[in-house]
Amino acid sequence: MVYFNGSLLVLAQIIKDLETCQMIQPITKPSCYFFQASRTKCKLLNWTGTREVVALAEFASTNPQDLVHFVPFGPNHWKVWVLEILVSRINLPRPTREFFLLNDALLSTIAWPIEYIFFD
């Protein structure tokens, strides 16, 4: 059994969206499929352990080869657009040359750990 953010319901909805392609566009890579969603809102949870909601974001990509400020964001992370900061002074899990804190990345893309992304 697979859990996504502790909820099979959320995973079932994502799979349904993938199957119907209502909001997902597939990107083909050699022997792999990755997805980019458009305008799917999510919440970023504090990745240091408290799991409180620290920002509102928009899902961007699951492809670990996609770039976040010229660097592939790698496995176990997804690319998100930061829309609103709810808690200040949170360190980024993958800082870049431009951004060290979540506040720095407002209205930009960042890599965020998958297990700390929550979809309503």
User: Tens digit of pLDDT for each residue in 82-105?
Assistant: 999 999 999 999 998 899 999 999
What span, in angstroms and rounded, lies between the C-alpha atoms of 68 and 103? Answer: 16
Is there a domain that residue 37 lies in? yes
| pLDDT score of 70 more than 80 | yes
112 occurs within a structural domain: yes
Q: Residue 90 belongs to what H/E stretch?
A: none
108: in domain: yes
Residue 15 lies in a domain: yes
The mean of the pLDDT values for the chain is: 77
Q: What are the angstrom distances between the C-alpha of 20 and each of 5, 14, 45, 49, 67?
A: 22, 10, 28, 35, 27
Domain count across the chain? 1
Of 51-60, 67-76, 88-97, give the lowest mean pLDDT range.
67-76
Q: Is residue 1 one of the residues assigned to a domain?
A: no
Confidence of residue 73 (pLDDT cuts 50, 70, 90): confident
Whether 2 maps to a domain, the answer reads no
At 77, the amino acid letter reads H
DSSP 91: B
3 inside domain: no
pLDDT score, position 52: 96
Which pLDDT tens digit goes with each residue over 14-35? 555 544 434 444 433 333 344 4
Helix (H, G, I), strand (E, B) or coil at 11: helix
Domain that holds residue 70: 8-118
Secondary-structure percent of the chain, ordered helix, strand, coil, rounded to 5? 15, 40, 40
